Amino acid sequence: MDELAALRALGALSQPTRLQCFRLLVTREPDGVPAGELARLVGVPQNTLSTHLAILANAGLVHGERHSRSIIYRANFDRLRELVLFLLKDCCGGRAELCAPLIADLSPCCPAKEPVQETTHD
C-alpha cells in the first residue's frame, strides 16, 4: 500500500458513521450485511448511508455484492491488513520485544496457540 492509498483509507474511516459501518461489517463476516439493514443498524437514511458506503468502497475498505434486489456489503479484510501493515512497517525499529505486545493486542479474537508438547509412552 502506498501513502496515498493509506491516507484515503484513514480519511474514509475518520468520520463517525463510516467508522461505525466498517466496524459493524467486520463483526458480520463472512455473511455481510444488506444495505437496508446496515442503514437501520447505524440509524441513518439509506441515501445517506449510500454516500458513506461509496467513500468506504472508494478507499477499498468495503465491497458490495448484488443479491437479487439487495446489495450485501462486506468489510475488505485484505485492504484492512494492507493498511495495518503499512502503519506498522518497520515497527519498533525491528526490536521484536517491543512489537510483540502490540501484535498480540491486534489479534484478540484469535489468540496464539501454545505449542503442543509431544509425549512419549514407554
pLDDT, tens digit, 9 for 90 and up, residues 40-73: 999 999 999 999 999 999 999 999 999 999 999 9
The predicted structure's pLDDT at residue 12: 98
Q: Is 89 contained in some domain?
A: no
How would residue 90 be classed by pLDDT, with cut points 50, 70 and 90? Answer: confident
Q: Is 25 contained in some domain?
A: yes
How far is 19 from 76, CA to CA, in rounded Å? 14
What letter would DSSP give residue 15? S
User: For residue 70, what is the domain's CATH number?
Assistant: 1.10.10.10
DSSP per-residue string spanning 25-77? HHHTTTT-EEHHHHHHHHT--HHHHHHHHHHHHHTTSEEEEEETTEEEEEE-H
Model confidence pTM above 0.85? no
What letter would DSSP give residue 89? T
Q: Is 31 contained in some domain?
A: yes
How would residue 1 be classed by pLDDT, with cut points 50, 70 and 90? Answer: very high
Count the domains in the chain.
Answer: 1
- pLDDT tens across 2-28, in order? 999 999 999 999 999 999 999 999 999
Q: How is residue 5 written as a grid cell? A: 492509498
Domain hosting residue 32, numbered range? 3-78
What letter would DSSP give residue 102? H
